[in-house]
Amino acid sequence: MKGNYNIQQVADVTGLSKQVIRKWEERYQLIVPERMDNGYRIYQDHDIATLLRVKRLSDEGYSIKQAAILIAKEREIGTSSEALTPLPHVEEWNEYVFQLLENGANCEELEINRILHQAHQDLGLDKFLNNAVLPFLREVGTRWEKKQWDEHQEAVSSMVVRDFLVQIRRNYPYRDDAPLVLGACLPGELHEVPLHILLLQFMVRGWKSFMIGASPAPGSIEALIERLRPKIVLLSASTSVPLLEHPETLEKLDLFAKAYPKINFYAGGIGIEKYLETHPLDAIHYAPDLVSVLSKQNTVH
């Protein structure tokens, strides 16, 4: 990170208002930004890290005063001290996540796309997905849930990332004899970005992939599986909507999976998790957020 952020940039990156940033600075002395000759504040990387830490502690139920005291003690005696209760972990962001959040806050579609291109080029696909795309999307989701971002900010950010990932998948090289992984949202599920990310992570490891679009027609998943005969099928329900609108879908897919014992079926997402609270699955394996599937598969050479 290059540092030297103005307060608007800090607000865009952290999701805090300029008023809150000034209040935390003046009332709790959490950060001490430098001042330019004209009186404007200039913030550094460690200032943003501190603000994000306090924000996370606040989400965990601490008051801002309590958070300020804890962070001050941590600085004084060090994080290795046994006398200090470990503070909640805050995910570290690189410069690309900072830039994506800043431009996402301002709905700068072209800039988001440019930063994605640069991060992909600089980091390579695997690190790009894990260190740039996933942290960015997690924070976008958090700000959307807490109403810190409006529909337009969330939609623009998600749309640009989705289109970029689709472009990578379509142009990613693979061997003709590579095993096939098929990804599908359940009918009624519109959030397809998690599947795009997971399929790309498979492709990095030597697989070829096929993606069924968001909210496929009932029966289309089964038809494509019969035609393509993939080695792995990934089913996604990031929300509860598909199982509320089509409650019979997963039961039918589970029965269908029993007829194909050589194909590994996995399902994940919040919707699947809630479904399993009252409905067991026999042939489809549950994978939290689908990411855990990767640990069960060997890299294809």
When the pLDDT of each residue in the chain is averaged and rounded to a whole number, the result is 88
Backbone phi, then psi, for 264, in 5-degree steps? -90, 120
Which CATH number does 95-170 carry?
1.10.1240.10
Percent pLDDT > 90 in the chain is: 54
Q: Which CATH class is domain 174-296?
A: alpha beta
pLDDT digit string (tens) for 270-284?
Answer: 899 899 999 999 999
Question: Which part of the chain has CATH 1.10.1240.10?
Answer: 95-170
In the block, residue with structure tokens 């943003």:
48
Question: How far apart are the C-alpha atoms of 150 and 231, rounded to whole Å?
Answer: 40
Angle, helices 7-14 vs 95-105, to 10°: value is: 100
Instruction: Identify the bridge partners of residue 233 per DSSP, sorted by sequence position.
Output: 182, 265
Reply yes or no on whether the pLDDT at 301 is more than 50.
no
pLDDT digit string (tens) for 74-106?
Answer: 777 664 444 445 566 666 788 899 999 999 999
pLDDT digit string (tens) for 186-201?
Answer: 999 988 998 999 999 9
What is the reported pLDDT for 83?
Answer: 45
CATH match for 7-77 among 3.20.20.70, 3.40.50.300, 1.10.1660.10, 3.40.470.10: 1.10.1660.10
Question: Which part of the chain has CATH 3.40.50.280?
Answer: 174-296
Question: Which part of the chain has CATH 1.10.1660.10?
Answer: 7-77
